[in-house]
Amino acid sequence: MSFDAISYLRDLNINFFTSGKNVSPGWIAIQCPLCQDESNHGGFAPPDHPGSPYSCWKCGGHSLEHVVMALEGLSFHKACQRVKQFQTDLRPSVPIKFRTPSGVLKLPLGTKGLTKGHKDYLINRRFDPDYLEAKYGLLGTGPVGDCSHRIVVPVFYQGQMVSWQARDITGKSELRYKSCAPAHEVMNHKRLIYNIDHCPRQSILVVEGFTDCWRFGDHCGATFGTTFTKAQVLLLTKYKRVFLIYDGEPEAQERAQKLCFILAGLGVEAENILLDQGDPGDLDQDTADHMKGELL
């Protein structure tokens, strides 16, 4: 599904730029209506862009619906209709783009099975490392390479490992999480929902990260952070009910509410669940199991 931003902007007689200052190749830039923008910091992304369909250098990524609401002063429901009006394909399929010529995933240097250090980290997080290793195919790295001392979490789609993320276990790395480079993954992980192969029901719990997902297990997927892409939204539209359980921070809750609004506009029963404190991965197992049973 591709949004024809040029036709839309021409319909509103809004100036736009396809090159020049602040304009990346393939982007369509405008003066952002969502912040105090005095230049052309806002932009509609190219159709194959894995991130937000609209992003501003000043205020970040936004859904098309919220941009349209700001530009035209419309309600969310009316904005959804306007977005559909300028979509070039009203029968979308999830875009599957193979990044590596051979279709073979490249794992971090020195990847092997979990060691005692990896397992101790998981135990300290109140997880069963042997169960997770068998269930989710967890791997680990040693002291070599630019992805050292990490738990490697494979990303599967339709039974095939297509990408990965890696979690630092030392607490010393500036980056807690690293993701497979786009050139080395078979499918971009931000086009997928983590654990979606184990979410066959009409209802799904959706969390931020894989550790949150492990706490709930089957029938729970993760969006790899609080930002979400059009492809991830499309994957979630196959469900009748979606329950968002993001962290309690204001930014995470804002993203969760935004995703709920978008899904509701596409006919999905979407609800944002706010935890009393912490994040889903920090729940004790009995509480997580009870919550899942109540919702699903």
Q: Supply the pLDDT for residue 105.
A: 86
Inside any domain, residue 48: yes
* Shared-domain flag, residues 222 and 287: yes
How confident is residue 95, by pLDDT bands cut at 50, 70 and 90? very low
* Shared-domain flag, residues 221 and 251: yes
* Shared-domain flag, residues 156 and 208: no
pLDDT digit string, tens, across residues 181-239: 888 888 889 989 999 999 988 999 999 999 999 999 999 999 999 889 988 999 999 89
- Assign 3-class secondary structure to the chain: CCECHHHHHHHCCCCCECCCCCCCCCCEEECCCCCCCCCCCEEECCCCCCCCCEEECCCEEECHHHHHHHHHCCCHHHHHHHHHHCECCCCCCCCCCCCCCCCCCCCCCCCECCCHHHHHHHHHCCCCHHHHHHHHCCEECCCCCCCCCEEEEEEEECCEEEEEEEEECCCCCCCCEEECCHHHCCCCHHHCCECHHHCCCCEEEEECCHHHHHHHCCCEEECCCCCCCHHHHHHHCCCCEEEECCCCCHHHHHHHHHHHHHHHHCCCEEEECCCCCCCHHHCCHHHHHHHHHHHC
In percent, the amount of the chain with pLDDT more than 90 equals 48
Is residue 1 scored above 70 in pLDDT? no
Inside any domain, residue 161: yes
pLDDT, average across residues 242-247 = 94
The CATH number given to whatever domain includes residue 227 is 3.40.1360.10
* Shared-domain flag, residues 200 and 187: no
Inside any domain, residue 240: yes
Inside any domain, residue 103: no
Q: Supply the pLDDT for residue 216.
A: 94
Is residue 50 scored above 90 in pLDDT? no
* Shared-domain flag, residues 290 and 200: yes
Residue that finishes a domain, picked among 160, 191, 222: 191
Number of domains in the chain: 3
* Shared-domain flag, residues 219 and 274: yes
pLDDT digit string, tens, across residues 12-41: 889 988 877 778 777 889 999 999 888 888
How confident is residue 45, by pLDDT bands cut at 50, 70 and 90? confident
Inside any domain, residue 121: yes
The CATH number given to whatever domain includes residue 69 is 3.90.580.10
* Shared-domain flag, residues 183 and 207: no
Q: Supply the pLDDT for residue 98.
A: 45
* Shared-domain flag, residues 202 and 177: no
* Shared-domain flag, residues 214 and 162: no
The parent domain of residue 45 ranges over 5-85
The CATH number given to whatever domain includes residue 130 is 3.90.980.10
Give the global pTM: 0.66
Q: Supply the pLDDT for residue 103.
A: 65
* Shared-domain flag, residues 169 and 205: no
* Shared-domain flag, residues 222 and 257: yes
* Shared-domain flag, residues 128 and 153: yes
Residue that finishes a domain, picked among 164, 191, 218: 191
pLDDT digit string, tens, across residues 129-154: 999 999 999 999 999 988 999 999 99
Spatial separation of the C-alpha atoms in residues 89 and 236, rounded to whole Å: 18
pLDDT digit string, tens, across residues 263-292: 998 889 999 998 877 788 888 899 989 999
Residue that finishes a domain, picked among 62, 85, 108: 85
Is residue 93 scored above 80 in pLDDT? no
Q: Supply the pLDDT for residue 88.
A: 65
pLDDT digit string, tens, across residues 150-176: 999 999 988 889 999 999 999 998 899
Q: Supply the pLDDT for residue 94.
A: 42
Give every CB contact of residue 104 below 8 A, 6+ residues apart in sequence.
186
